[in-house]
Structures are given as C-alpha cells and as structure tokens.
C-alpha cells in the first residue's frame, strides 16, 4: 500500500519499467528491454498544432500535413514560422488581398470563411495560430511535383531569370535560404508562385514586405513569370 495514493496506468508502467531496468541487486539492465519497460503504456504526445490544423479545416485546402494542397493553394509544410503567422493574421484582418480564383472570389476568401464568422468574429486565437505555424514549420517540406507538361527549356529560362532579376536577394539561392520574414519558395507549386507574382506585379497584393518586390517584378511578362515558377517548382528542399 502506497499512502493511499492511486497509481495511474502510465505511472505504474514507468515504475515497473524502472524496477525491471534496475534488475536483481540493483544492477541496471541495459538495452531495448529497459527502455521499452520504462515507457510502456505511455502514448506519444501529438503536437497541439496538428490537432488545430485539422480542426480549423486547414487540411481541406492545404492537404494532409500541409503537403498536398489542392488547386492553386500552397503547400505549407516546412514554411517559415514567422511568415506563416504574419500571413494568417493579414488574411484574417483583410490586409492581404489578391487576385480572383476560379469562382471569381478573392483567393484568400475561403480561408477567411474558415477562420472568421459571417458576423466578423475571429474563430482562432493568436496562440492557436502560433501553434499551427510551429507545427507546419517543423515538418519536412513536400517533395516537388512539377507539371507533367513542364518543358526543360522553360525551367532553364526560369533559372536564368531568377538570377537576372535578383530574386535571391530576398529568397536566397534557388529559393531555399530566404531573409528573415520572407518565405521559402523552392519546391512550391508553380500555379501558386505564378498567381502571387502576378498579384505583386499588378499591385493587388500589398501586405507585409511585398513593396520590396515591385522593382524586381514590375516589368516581367506573364510568360517570364511562368518560367520562374516552373524553375522553382522543380527544386527539392528535402535534399541537403
């Protein structure tokens, strides 16, 4: 009898595990048996952001673990945490605007609908936004999935334009090492990159640090933007 205290199942498992690990005469038992015994009955804790990511229906557009986004939505796995937080807050507040989607609505509208009630009440707290961002930032990025009809010459042209237009000034070499507050764009979906660059060029998107991009993209033609997007969509961030 132990002072009338109730031993939880997990606590009992750990206690027994430690007892077995010590062995007869207090001699420690080494190896997998000791480790398994000590943690028996304990469940691996899930990141709170993962549960929120599903509960807040982020998964509907950005896919499982932020790696299988539908339509022209971006993959979010492995993205910069501070960038994710900033963009989420800007979308909720209405600061981030953009072009129209296939339904003729602002591309951010579906996300606003998920996080803000028709009456204007925000359904998610700052703490929850940070938890989701922390969860996504800690995931391995999605493997690139370039379009089936991608032309090698467009990829090569995009690589040259990325260098010529000095995109790496903010986003780093091959879009893999951005400055603080800027997003990773390597391996991102080509359609998403294209839409965002067009929105920036046409001054439809003005939030955050977008103004710094105007001088770089203001003279780019649609075909050139498509080539840059094609190039970036082929880069694999999971390779070191």
Place of tokens 């199942």: 9
pLDDT recorded at residue 172: 96
pTM: 0.80
Q: What is the distance between the alpha carbons of residues 133 and 229, in angstroms, rounded to a whole number?
A: 24
pLDDT recorded at residue 23: 44
pLDDT recorded at residue 30: 54
Mean pLDDT by 10 residues, the chain (240 residues): 46 40 47 50 77 95 96 96 97 91 84 92 97 98 93 97 96 95 96 96 93 94 98 93
The dihedral region occupied by 208, where left means phi > 0, alpha psi between -120 and 50, and beta the remainder, is left
DSSP 120-184: S-B-S-HHHHHHHHHHHHTSPPPPP---TT--HHHHHHHHHHHHHTTTHHHH-GGGSSPPTTPPP
pLDDT recorded at residue 45: 83
pLDDT recorded at residue 31: 56
pLDDT recorded at residue 43: 54
Q: What is the distance between the alpha carbons of residues 168 and 10, in angstroms, rounded to a whole number?
A: 51
């Amino acid at each position: 009898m132990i002072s009338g205290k109730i031993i939880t199942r997990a606590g009992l498992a750990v206690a027994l595990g430690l007892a077995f690990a010590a062995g007869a005469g207090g001699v420690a038992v080494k190896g997998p048996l000791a480790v398994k015994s000590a943690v028996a009955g304990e469940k691996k804790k899930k990141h709170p952001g993962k549960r929120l990511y599903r509960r807040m229906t982020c998964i509907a557009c950005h896919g499982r673990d932020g790696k299988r986004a539908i339509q022209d939505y971006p993959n979010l796995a492995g993205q910069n945490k501070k960038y994710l937080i900033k963009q989420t807050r800007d979308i909720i507040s209405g600061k981030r605007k953009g072009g129209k989607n296939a339904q003729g609505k602002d591309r951010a509208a579906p996300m606003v609908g998920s996080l803000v009630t028709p009456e204007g009440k925000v359904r998610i707290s700052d703490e929850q936004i940070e938890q989701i961002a922390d969860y996504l930032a800690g995931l391995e990025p999605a493997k690139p999935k370039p379009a089936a009809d991608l032309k090698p010459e467009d990829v090569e042209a995009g690589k040259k334009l990325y260098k010529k237009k000095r995109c790496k000034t903010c986003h780093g070499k091959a879009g893999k090492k951005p400055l603080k507050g800027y997003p990773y764009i390597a391996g991102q979906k080509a359609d998403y990159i294209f839409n965002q660059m067009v929105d920036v060029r046409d001054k439809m998107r003005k939030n955050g640090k977008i103004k710094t991009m105007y001088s770089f993209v203001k003279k780019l033609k649609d075909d050139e933007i498509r080539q840059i997007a094609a190039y970036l969509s082929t880069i694999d961030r999971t390779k070191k």
